[in-house]
Amino acid sequence: MDAMLVQMSVSASLIIAAALCIRALALYSLPKRVFQLLWGIAAVRLLLPFRVPCRFSFYTVLSLLEAPGTQTMAGEAAGISALWRPPGIQAIEMEAYAKYYGAPLSAAEWVWILGVLSCAAFFLAAYIRGRKRFASSMPVEQETAALQPVPLRRQVQIRQTDRAAIPLTYGIFRPVILFPMGTDWADLKNRHALIHEYMHIKHWDALAKLVLAAAACVHWFNPLVWFMYCMANRDMELACDEAALKILGADAKGAYALTLIAFEEAKGQRFPIASHFSKSAAEERVKAIMKTRAPSKWAAIAGILIVLILTISFATSAMDPNEAILKAQTGASGRELRYLRSIFADFGIQAASISPSDNPITQGMDETCSAAFDVQSTEGLKYFLLLRREDQSFQALLDHENKVLYGLVDTATLPQYFN
């Protein structure tokens, strides 16, 4: 299995574990949308291989705790050990890909691919089965605009079917709300359900479910990801309950809870890609409903701080001290900085050795063309680094005899040293 995938899974697992702890301690104290944001951060970490160095990262702390001298130059370029640091563009990874590029897939990789395809087939089959079940649904006879509890930019279809026992919502860009056939719109519980389903559409929960399903498919081997999938779906329901009660008012909590219980008794087969009015732990939802109160300013501030702290701590990667040195000396950043680090790792060059060069070769340079630096390897070998002055991008690396080892140099720029 790819090391980068494992790194992403481990990094996201720490976010998930922290979110579960916070949820257990503050579920009824914080706005429910806070938990959805935490699951969203974990899902992004699971699916996108990015690297954002931060000195306050949990991984930076881990790297500082490592025993001095235990890292090789390649390890220093990577920031911390491969198990704990999120993936980046590093020399050691580039060497691994170069070594195994084109090689046959290992048994573990085939097992992972089979797992991804199996999970994707399950979700796809459930979606197709659900769409077929509801293909025969009919539009409601009552004017849809009269039923719309909140304004939305997307057009929402409200339909009825005899194949659904409870209200549910599906669709991202053309959302559909399905009610059982013969729904009495004068019944208060159906009004509650309609508002709840509109909140799913307003929050883009169908898209969130798709992202969660993708994360579960890719990381099917990680039990914490499946736990996140279940908890995130449950928190979608709690967030919609909370939003619905903001519209209905605090006096409606008792009636809304009775509505939830009534639909809980009527629920039937699961449709994992759709949002149901009542498909999560009913007891937890009823308890959350009865404890719902107007969110305080301090609860909102606490929620924002929690999201920021978890994001900075676990969604970022280690701040490499060598990177800070290179950035300060050369002014390079982003992709060019990572490229320099990989070259330094290839030649065993110490970042701390970099300094502006007084090499005679610089006398023939056009000042607008290149910036020059002296660097040294761990073995004491001296090198000469040339960067393009206009953007600080890599140009060439020369040895102590001014022979080009890597890169390109315009020989016309230095006629007395390049013939």
User: Does residue 104 fall inside a structural domain?
Assistant: no
User: Does residue 135 fall inside a structural domain?
Assistant: yes
Residue 132 amino acid letter: K
User: Does residue 48 fall inside a structural domain?
Assistant: no
Q: List pLDDT tens digits, range 283-302.
A: 888 888 888 777 678 888 99
Extended strands (E) in 259-366? 275-276, 317-318, 349-356
Residues 165, 264, single domain; the answer is: yes
Scanning the structure block, which residue is given the tokens 């790819």?
A: 2
User: Does residue 152 fall inside a structural domain?
Assistant: yes
Q: Does 239 score more than 90 pLDDT?
A: yes
User: Does residue 186 fall inside a structural domain?
Assistant: yes
Residues 139, 235, single domain; the answer is: yes
**Structural domains in the chain (count):** 2
Residue 191 amino acid letter: R
Residues 339, 255, single domain; the answer is: no
Residues 253, 397, single domain; the answer is: no
Looking at 281, 296, 312, the residue that finishes a domain is 281
- The C-alpha angle with vertex 344 and arms to 48 and 398, in degrees rounded to 5, equals 135
Residues 150, 276, single domain; the answer is: yes
* Sheet of 394-399, strand order: 349-356, 370-377, 382-388, 394-399, 404-407
User: Does residue 374 fall inside a structural domain?
Assistant: yes
User: Does residue 107 fall inside a structural domain?
Assistant: no
- The C-alpha angle with vertex 226 and arms to 220 and 232, in degrees rounded to 5, equals 135
Average pLDDT over residues 46-56: 82
Of the ranges 109-118, 132-141, 376-385, which is most confident?
Answer: 109-118
Residues 167, 272, single domain; the answer is: yes
Q: Does 87 score more than 60 pLDDT?
A: no
- Residue 81: predicted pLDDT: 33
User: Does residue 42 fall inside a structural domain?
Assistant: no
Go through the chain and tell me how many residues it has: 419
Q: Does 83 score more than 50 pLDDT?
A: no
Residues 262, 396, single domain; the answer is: no
Of residues 254 and 274, which shows the higher confidence score? 254
Residues 230, 327, single domain; the answer is: no
Print the domain residue range for 361: 321-413
Residues 163, 252, single domain; the answer is: yes
Residues 150, 242, single domain; the answer is: yes
pLDDT bucket at 274, cuts 50 / 70 / 90: low
Looking at 252, 281, 310, the residue that finishes a domain is 281
Residues 270, 381, single domain; the answer is: no
- Residue 419: predicted pLDDT: 41
Q: How far apart, in Å, are the Cα atoms of 116 and each of 100, 109, 110, 331?
A: 22, 11, 10, 43
Q: How far apart, in Å, are the Cα atoms of 195 and each of 149, 224, 267, 280, 282?
A: 6, 32, 18, 17, 18
Of residues 227 and 272, which shows the higher confidence score? 227
Query: Is the pTM above the cut of 0.85?
Result: no
Residues 258, 174, single domain; the answer is: yes
